[in-house]
């Protein structure tokens, strides 16, 4: 069995999950990577390819597996001074180094790990120092001296203007001292990982003592005694460790079995009561108070955004969200409703200027702009104000007065057991307004919309497909704001 660098990093995060991956791969067969996960991998590959441009003349090891080790050896022996994907194996440990560069003056090799992140990370499972230490141990065991270990990552302060300047887009941080200090601990962990993975018995799952957000896809396999909706779903229960440990040690997993509900905090209690009585828990006074503070016309508003590791548009940096679309439903005091929308279909010139101009024409600052999870919309307003100072007063005004409809649910003024403890519009809508659903749309979530937009603006995409994507994007964003209108109407009846 091989232990790759990725295996080792996963081991430091969850050893049990790694054991399952090695011995029961069938458990992961149905776990499709999300669009978001696929995009992260693609962004990582793009960043790595872009970063290699900073090392002209480097030699790329093309082979995989044992053949890559032989190819690396041959390349070093014939005197290649910069290697991409140099591959080494020591004992069961296997690595591919992003960049190895020979330092003629110091007579040793510099190791560079490329990360499509905006900073050096030092927390499992993305611990960049341990990542480098693992590589250094394996490479040096092979007789190749590493004299410097660094991470090259994206520069969070870089903003594209014209052609991407790769020298400015990436920054390199020398972590040699930290890596050397971490080496002993990482070396010991590598040995325990090897022993652990040799264990024939399936080890226990520690997440039984963690809240739902920490569970991975194999939790149900490892804990068949825990029902689908359990004490782990209680709001922020992972922060109330004492309660959770007490229940688990007493084999209390279902909400019905909780023996001390008086210890739950107000939010957890509302969730518990809703579940126990199989009915919704509503606080009409709090809802009325929140909605009475809004001014007509109510403008239900939603952006869709796109981001990428290598910025595509002037004025934007790595992973900065580019608002490419909005939908707006305007509800007047007399109940009349109007829909407006905007979608960038052909990026040109000052990319977001037409979008802001249209917003100015569509939105009345005297009325309240209503959104769902408004911090996302507010951040986009701030960015647009920075890019288009002439519109800053307008954008700041609507942003300051924005109302977040999600707070009705996240503050537990309306709790339905069917929300599953979530305040996401995707969970709330089918329960509060069963007639509306995202299921029939070709786009179901924001990350998919972002991926579709990238396809829409590609010159490789046919006109026919562009027409289809445009329709799908408009329908998806429109449902986001129409859903808010309908949820608002239900709340008003309360
Ligand atoms: S549920 Fe938690 S402890 Fe169990 S395998 Fe998944 S991540 Fe590991």
Could you tell me which residue, 172 or 200, shows the higher pLDDT?
A: 172
Element (H, E) at 132: helix 128-141
Q: For the chain, count helices (H), then strands (E).
A: 18, 16
pLDDT at position 38, please? 81
Q: Indicate the pTM of the whole model.
A: 0.85
**Hey, which residues does 223 pair with through a beta bridge?**
none
Best probe residue, ligand 1, of 215, 221, 248 (max atoms within 8 Å of C-beta): 215
The predicted model gives 105-113 an average pLDDT of: 96
Residue 356 pLDDT exceeds 90: yes
State which CATH number among 2.60.40.1220, 3.10.20.600, 3.40.50.150, 3.90.320.10 fits the domain covering 3-198. Answer: 3.90.320.10
The predicted model gives 120-137 an average pLDDT of: 95
The predicted model gives 461-468 an average pLDDT of: 96
Could you tell me which residue, 34 or 270, shows the higher pLDDT?
A: 270
82 Cβ closer than 6 Å to some ligand 1 atom: no
Residue nearest to atom 6 of ligand 1 (CA): 216
Burial 15-35 (b: 16+ CB within 10 A, else e): bbbbbbbeeeeebeeeeeeeb
| pLDDT tens per residue across span 410-453 | 888 998 888 877 889 999 999 999 999 888 899 988 888 999 99
232 Cβ closer than 6 Å to some ligand 1 atom: no
Contacts for 309 with CB less than 8 Å, ≥ 6 apart: 43, 44, 46, 47, 116, 154, 318, 319
Please state the atom number of ligand 1 nearest to the C-alpha of residue 215: 1
Residue 312 pLDDT exceeds 80: yes
- In DSSP notation, 456-473 reads HT-TTS-HHHHHHHHHHH
In the chain, % helix, strand, coil (3-state, to 5) comes to 50, 15, 35
Ligand 1 centroid distance, CA of 12 (Å): 12
Residue 387 pLDDT exceeds 80: yes
Model confidence band, residue 199 (pLDDT cutoffs 50, 70, 90):
confident
Q: Of all residues in the chain, what percent carry a pLDDT higher than 70?
A: 99
Distance from C-alpha of 365 to C-alpha of 371, rounded to nearest angstrom:
14
Q: Lowest-confidence range among 6-10, 278-282, 461-465? A: 278-282
C-alpha to C-alpha distances, 221 to 18, 229, 460, nearest whole angstrom: 14, 15, 43
State which CATH number among 2.60.120.200, 3.90.1720.10, 3.30.420.10, 2.30.110.10 fits the domain covering 287-493. Answer: 3.30.420.10
Coil, strand or helix at 366: coil
Model confidence band, residue 161 (pLDDT cutoffs 50, 70, 90):
very high
pLDDT at position 446, please? 86
Distance from C-alpha of 432 to C-alpha of 406, rounded to nearest angstrom:
13
Give Rg (Cα) of the chain: 27
Residue 280 pLDDT exceeds 90: no
Q: Where in the chain is the domain with CATH 3.30.420.10?
A: 287-493
Average pLDDT score, the chain: 93
Nearest CA to 119 among 52, 164, 172, 46?
A: 172
Coil, strand or helix at 387: helix
If you count them, how many residues does the chain have? Answer: 494
205 Cβ closer than 6 Å to some ligand 1 atom: yes
Please state the atom number of ligand 1 nearest to the C-alpha of residue 222: 4
Helix 463-493, helix 446-456: angle, nearest 10: 150
Model confidence band, residue 463 (pLDDT cutoffs 50, 70, 90):
very high
Best probe residue, ligand 1, of 202, 207, 230 (max atoms within 8 Å of C-beta): 207
Nearest CA to 76 among 66, 87, 67, 92?
A: 87
The predicted model gives 374-383 an average pLDDT of: 97
Residue nearest to atom 5 of ligand 1 (CA): 17
91: left (phi over 0), alpha (psi -120 to 50) or beta: left
Q: Of all residues in the chain, what percent carry a pLDDT higher than 90?
A: 78
Ligand 1 centroid distance, CA of 474 (Å): 39
pLDDT at position 417, please? 81
Take residue 140 and report the two structure tokens written for it: 């040096």
Distance from C-alpha of 70 to C-alpha of 77, rounded to nearest angstrom:
11
Take residue 114 and report the two structure tokens written for it: 């490329």
Is 62 buried (19+), middle (13-18) or exposed (0-12) by CB count in 10 A?
exposed
Distance from C-alpha of 390 to C-alpha of 411, rounded to nearest angstrom:
36
15 Cβ closer than 6 Å to some ligand 1 atom: no
Q: Where in the chain is the domain with CATH 3.90.320.10?
A: 3-198
pLDDT at position 447, please? 85
Instruction: Identify each DSSP E strand in 219-284 by its residue range.
Output: 281-282
Q: Are 210 and 245 in contact (CB under 8 A)?
A: no
Question: The tokens 């009345």 sit on which residue?
Answer: 364
Ligand 1 centroid distance, CA of 358 (Å): 48
Ligand 1 centroid distance, CA of 204 (Å): 9
């Amino acid at each position: 069995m091989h232990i790759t660098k990725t295996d080792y990093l996963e081991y430091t995060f969850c050893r049990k999950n790694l054991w399952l991956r090695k011995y029961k791969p069938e458990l992961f067969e149905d776990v499709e990577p999300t669009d978001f996960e696929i995009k992260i991998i693609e962004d990582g590959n793009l960043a790595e390819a872009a970063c290699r441009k900073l090392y002209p003349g480097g030699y790329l090891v093309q082979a995989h597996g044992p053949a890559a080790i032989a190819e690396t050896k041959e390349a070093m022996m014939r005197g290649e001074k910069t290697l991409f994907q140099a591959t080494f194996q020591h004992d069961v440990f296997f690595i591919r180094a992003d960049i190895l560069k020979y330092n003629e003056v110091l007579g040793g090799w510099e190791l560079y790990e490329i990360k499509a992140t905006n900073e050096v990370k030092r927390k499992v499972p993305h611990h960049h120092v341990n990542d480098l230490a693992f590589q250094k141990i394996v490479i040096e065991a092979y007789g190749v001296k590493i004299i410097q270990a660094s991470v090259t990552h994206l520069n969070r302060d870089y903003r594209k203007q014209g052609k991407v300047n790769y020298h400015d887009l990436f920054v390199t941080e020398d972590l040699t001292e930290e890596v050397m200090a971490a080496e002993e601990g990482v070396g010991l962990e590598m040995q325990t990982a090897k022993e652990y993975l040799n264990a024939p018995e399936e080890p226990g799952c520690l997440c039984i003592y963690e809240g739902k957000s920490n569970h991975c896809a194999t939790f149900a396999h490892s804990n068949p005694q825990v029902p689908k909706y359990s004490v782990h779903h209680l709001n922020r229960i992972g922060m109330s460790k004492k309660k959770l440990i007490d229940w688990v040690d007493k084999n209390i997993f279902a909400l019905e079995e909780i023996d001390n509900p008086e210890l739950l905090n107000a939010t957890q209690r509302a969730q518990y009561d809703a579940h126990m009585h199989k009915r919704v828990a509503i606080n009409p006074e709090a809802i009325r108070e929140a909605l009475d503070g809004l001014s007509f016309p109510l403008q239900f508003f939603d952006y869709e955004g796109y981001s990428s590791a290598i910025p595509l548009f002037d004025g934007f940096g790595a992973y900065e969200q580019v608002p490419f679309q909005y939908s707006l439903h305007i509800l007047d005091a007399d109940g009349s409703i109007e829909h407006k929308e905007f979608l960038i279909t052909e990026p040109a010139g000052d990319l977001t200027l037409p979008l802001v101009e249209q917003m100015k024409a569509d939105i009345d600052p005297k009325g309240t702009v209503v959104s769902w999870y408004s911090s996302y919309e507010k951040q986009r307003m701030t960015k647009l104000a920075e890019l288009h100072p002439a519109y800053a007063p307008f954008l700041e005004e609507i942003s300051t007065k924005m109302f977040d409809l999600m707070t009705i649910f996240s503050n537990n003024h309306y709790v339905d057991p069917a929300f599953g403890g979530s305040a996401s519009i995707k969970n709330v809508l089918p329960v509060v307004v069963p007639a509306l659903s995202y299921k029939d749309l070709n786009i179901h979530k924001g990350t998919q919309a972002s991926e579709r937009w990238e396809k829409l603006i590609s010159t490789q995409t046919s006109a026919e497909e562009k027409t289809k994507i445009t329709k799908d994007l408009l329908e998806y964003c429109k449902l986001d704001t129409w859903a808010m209108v309908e949820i608002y109407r239900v709340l008003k009846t309360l």
